[in-house]
Structure 1
Amino acid sequence: MSSFIVAYGTGEGQTAKVADRIVAALADRGHDATSVNVSEDGSDVAVEDYDAVLVGASVHAGKHQEAVVDFVSDNREALSARPTAFFQVSLSSATEEGVDQAADYVESFLSETEWNPDRIAQFGGALRFSEYGFLMRFMMKQIVKRTMSDVDTSRDTEFTDWDAVENFANDVAAFVEGRLGVPAPASDETERR
């Protein structure tokens, strides 16, 4: 069993949902995993206390949360000493047309923080029209009509591919198990024998 911390920043809660799903997938493999919102508790995280670190951030107006940028920059040396992964949540990742833009956001983040994670993933975000104020709801509806004309703006929509999130978590876990020499968890088939 390895210890994982999933440190993230979120704007509207979707990145927190992704972090929680990653924690659940890691726990299902038998690892000790916890998540922390670095915008609230980042200074309390001692990266050195964990075998592996996953960092997640969402993109708003082309930027990641400053708390996540600071967390990675402040912990760059400790991050380089252990297996790491980065995941990004954005609306750009929700469309084929936006994938290149989402990749540019990742490159900018990695360049700004001078960090080289072992694994990277990009996930679609969510539109929470019911939670936006009047002006934000109006602006988002206009943007969606131009860029995602098939989306119903009268209701909230989630674009996250949850199978991809679990596959990413399992890929990271397998990488960490291999790098640290931790035995892979027994499958259900092995346990039945």
Structure 2
Amino acid sequence: MRVLIVFGTTEGHTREICHFAADVLRKAGHTATTEEAARDSADVQIGAYDVVLLAGSLHIGRYQPGLVRFAQARADELNAKPSAFISVSLSAAGENPDDWECLEDCLARFEHETGWTPHQVHKAEGAIKYSQYDFFKRLALKHIAAKRGQATVTSRDYDLTDYDAVRAFVLDFVRADRGPAVLSDPR
């Protein structure tokens, strides 16, 4: 199966997840191509692929503008073939029902803004990359983590992603009969 993976990333973690997913698919015998959503994404030939996987990370309640533009511009093509979305966020790593409700709201807004309804959605846990943050962002994320009962130190980064769940999601997606939308909830 030929799989296209298009992603938006802010700090690079979603790129890492997508490269991991592509490696998993290649090891399973599929062809997987990764593309970062950008201004020249109009050149991406969706029709050359059997299935499409988009991925983006939430920052202040929004996905990357390039990914939103890509999904908006290609909504008809995405809706016409098997497609899935990996939503990467720190909310997905938590147990707080309010965070999960907010995540659902962000996903609904993304679908409404883009006109694209993925067949499947996986909510992947994000990362805290203190090494990439300025002083104020480090302080804010340390406060958010503490509020959620996670003790962190700003001298190291934290990858909270459940890679086994990502592996299972992408392999199930390429094998699925792709009926109505299915949400993957790692809680």
- Written as runs of structure 1 = structure 2, the 5 A alignment for 1:14-33 is 14-33=13-32
Superimposed CA distance per residue, residues 85-108 of structure 1 (whole angstroms, 9 cap, x where no aligned partner): 011000111101122222221111
Shift of 1:114: 1.7
Q: TM-score with structure 2 length normalisation?
A: 0.87
Equivalences for residues 1-193 of structure 1 within 5 A = 2-39=1-38, 41-97=40-96, 98-175=99-176, 178=177
Secondary structure, counterpart of 2:38 in structure 1? helix
Give the gaps of 5 or more residues in structure 2.
179-187
What amino acid sits opposite 1:74 in the alignment? Answer: A
The answer as to whether partners of 2:76 and 2:116 remain within 8 angstroms in 1 is no
Deviation, 1:153, is: 3.8
AA at the equivalent of 1:90: S
User: How many Å separate the matches in 2 of 1:153 and 1:147?
Assistant: 16
> SS of the residue aligned with 2:16?
helix
Distance 1:59 1:159 in 2: 14
Shift of 1:49: 1.7
Say how many residue pairs are matched.
176
What SS does structure 1 have at the residue aligned with 2:72? helix
Give unpaired runs (5+ residues) of structure 1.
Answer: 180-193
Partners of 2:166 and 2:118 lie apart in 1 by 17
Shift in alpha-carbon separation, 1:74–1:65, aligned structure 2, 3 A: same
Moved over 4 A (4+): none
| Separation of aligned partners in 2, 1:148 and 1:48 | 46
What letter is aligned with 1:172? F
Once the two structures are overlaid, the 10-residue window that deviates more, 87-96 or 137-146, is 137-146
- Report which of the two structures shows the higher radius of gyration computed on alpha carbons: 1
SS in 2 for 1:63: coil
